[in-house]
Amino acid sequence: MYFLKDINSDALTDPASLCARSEAHYTRQIDEVAAGIAEHMAKSRVALLCGPSSSGKTTTARRITEALAKRGISCHVISLDDYYMDVDENYPKNPDGSYDFESPYCLDIPLLTKHIHAIEQGLPVDIPRFDFMSRRRDAKTTHIPADGGVVLYEGIHALNATVMGDEIERAYGIYIRVGGEVWHEDLLQLPKNYVRLCRRIVRDSLFRNTDPAATLAMWNSVRAGEHKYILPGRALADYRIDSFHPCEPGLFRPLISEVLEGVDHPLADALRRAYAPFVNLTAEHLSADCLLREFIGNN
């Protein structure tokens, strides 16, 4: 639990220290995960990284790879997104007829199972690549050698038993979420789900050419999919990472204010109110590999 007055006080008096402490807390968790994976390798060389939207899975997979490298262990990251099947008339659909991209049945589960069994036997595999522009599998593949290192599967369904089967029992499971929230006296000022929504709006606006109104319109559907397919995986994880950085409300305050300018939506109003009391921070005190760079970039 964090408090508005403490975060604002640190932001005013020593913003560099606030950012450094935020990053150090996250880094300690990464180091603990790497130690856990290394110890678990006698049982399985497969690790599974799962988490809801905008929890920081991409950066976390990279940082785990770097932490394992320091221990002399290679790590190959595989995105479950690459196991998406070609989008056609047989694709899972929502009740309104739209494609249900949150469904685990979007994935080629038999191929995934075959590859995981091969990895566990120390065999090389060639992973498909999914092209999101064409919504079809690419002709190219990614080769995973039989080098004895760790293979880290990353994706929203990585701890979903429907997708991973009995591999969940053998592999080292990691669940990442935003666990921190900010209180103002007895009132919840910044709920943790607002933190993820803010991250997603800023990232999608800056790097994915997605209008904030479109991101807001999808949010309820995204949350429904998380509750159905992702959140149950928490109980299966060997380690839970909290990716909240206490410095981020101040960093995102000016960004979300700018991105949401002129956007008329109840959630946009709620985000503006939630971030308004925080002291503005700039990214100058963040390291180049800070998790928050995944959402705000290098500027």
pLDDT of residue 47: 97
Can you read off the two tokens belonging to residue 127?
Answer: 């992973």
DSSP letter, residue 261? T
Residue 121 forms part of a structural domain: yes
- Domain assignment present for 239: yes
- Per-residue tokens: 192: 């943790």
Over range 15-31, report the average pLDDT: 98
- Domain-located, residue 297: no
Per-residue pLDDT for 94 more than 80? no
User: If phi over 0 gives left and psi between -120 and 50 gives alpha, with beta otherwise, what is residue 112?
Assistant: alpha
Residue 101 resides in a domain: yes
The conformational region for residue 116 under phi > 0 = left, psi -120 to 50 = alpha, else beta, is alpha
Judged by average pLDDT, the poorest of 68-72, 118-122, 247-251, 278-282 is: 118-122
Q: Is pLDDT at 280 greater than 90 in this prediction?
A: yes
Residue 173 lies in a domain: yes
Assign 297 to helix, strand or coil. Answer: coil
Residue 298 placed within a domain: no
User: What span, in angstroms and rounded, lies between the C-alpha atoms of 100 and 89?
Assistant: 12
Q: Which of 108, 111, 110, 113 shows the shortest CA–CA distance to 88?
A: 108
Q: What is the CATH number of the domain that holds 143?
A: 3.40.50.300
Three-class SS state of 255: helix
Residue 64 pLDDT grade (very low, low, confident, very high; cuts 50, 70, 90):
very high
Boundaries of domain holding 229: 2-292
Helix (H, G, I), strand (E, B) or coil at 48: strand
Question: Is it the case that residue 132 has pLDDT exceeding 80?
Answer: no
pLDDT-based confidence at 91, cuts 50/70/90? confident
Instruction: Give tens-digit pLDDT for 200-210.
Output: 999 999 988 88
* Counted domains in the chain: 1
**Contact present, 149 and 45 (Cβ < 8 Å):** yes
In the prediction, which pLDDT does 146 show?
87
What is the Cα–Cα distance from 196 to 248, expressed in whole angstroms? 11
pLDDT band at 299 (very low <50, low <70, confident <90, very high): low
Residue 27 lies in a domain: yes
**Contact at 8 Å (CB) between 136 and 82?**
no
Residue 109 is predicted with a pLDDT of: 94
Rounded CA-CA distance 35/9 in Å is 35
Range in 2-6, 19-23, 225-229, 294-298 with the lowest mean pLDDT: 225-229
Q: Confirm whether 299 is domain-assigned.
A: no
Mean pLDDT value of segment 22-44: 97
Report the pLDDT value the prediction gives residue 90, as an integer from 0 to 100: 78
Q: Is the pLDDT of residue 99 over 90?
A: no
The answer on pLDDT for 133 being more than 80 is no
pLDDT band at residue 93 under the 50/70/90 scheme:
confident
Question: What is the CB neighbour count within 10 angstroms for residue 238?
Answer: 15
Q: How far apart are CA 268 and CA 167, in angstroms?
A: 40
